[in-house]
Structures are given as C-alpha cells and as structure tokens.
Amino acid sequence: MSADRTPVTVVPLDVIVDPENEEAVEAELRAFQAGAGTSVVVVHLRARVVTPRALHLLLRARERAADAGGILCVAAPGPAARRVFHLTGLSRVLRVAATVAGAVRRNAGAGCGHPGSASPRSRAIPSPRRPGPPRPGSSLSRLARPDRTRRP
C-alpha cells in the first residue's frame, strides 16, 4: 500500500432509521467510528428509504468525524436515496457517491461518477441561451394539454 492511500473503514447501514431504532443505530455507528482507527469512514447506505432521522444521524456522525479529525462519506447505491441527499442539499455537506469506491474517490478530491459531481474528466456543458424575451402575443396555452374529458 502506498503512502498516499488512506485506510478506509466501511460501515454498512441496512436498516431504515426511525424513532424506535435511531438510538441503537447511532450507538452502533458511534462504536464503529471510535474503533475504526482510520480517518475516513464510509457509511454504505443499503436501505432504499432515507428518512429524516437517517439524515440527522449522518450529520451528527459527520460532526463527530470532523471533531476527531476524520472524514465521513456516504455511499448510497439507490438513485432515490441519492436524490434525497441532492434535494435536501446534504450532498454538498456529506460526501455522497453511488458506490463505496466512488465515495473513496470523492474523498480524494475526484468526482463520484453521478450527476452533480465535479469529475476531472467531466466537461462543462453550456446552458442553452434563450433568444430573447417572449413575444407579446405568445402565451403558455400552446403548452397546455387539450381537455379530453369533454365530449362533443
């Protein structure tokens, strides 16, 4: 193993975090973080549902990791789970990737391979420009679907 490689601890999170099991899951995650002995911990989120309790739990785990001089990353294979992180803005706070390898790459400063990441190989695609303001006579009615519920 080369000197530039940081050891990584992967912690699987298989359960849906709810009020009934939140304390137990957090205690287990805290024990993994304390016993990891590494500066990088990747939480492998294998549950398809990401609850607000899980988001808060991961934020607290991130704070604990930062206080100890470490880094917490999240690997969320499910696209719905990653979408929750993106919609809540937590993908900017937590290092979220689709795979464990992607989370490790993201920790190294590279992209994680899914939309929203800044990969060194990605190319910026310019946004299309509108030709100008809409014409006075134009309206959005042309975009509306025809009403098919009425019968002649």
pLDDT in tens, 32-41: 888 776 678 8
Per-residue pLDDT, 5: 66
Please report the pLDDT score of residue 150 as a whole number. Answer: 57
Token code pair at residue 41: 């911990």
Q: What value does the CA radius of gyration of the chain take, rounded to a whole number of Å?
A: 22
- pLDDT value of residue 40: 84
Run of H or E residues at 127 = none
d(CA 90, CA 11): 19
- Give tens-digit pLDDT for 63-94: 988 888 888 999 999 999 999 999 999 988 88
- Pick from 28, 39, 47: which is nearest to 5 by CA? 39
Q: What separation in angstroms does the CA of 71 have from each of 8, 58, 150?
A: 10, 12, 60
Does the predicted TM-score (pTM) go above 0.75?
no
Beta strands in 3-51 (DSSP E): 8-13, 40-45
Residue-averaged pLDDT of the chain: 76
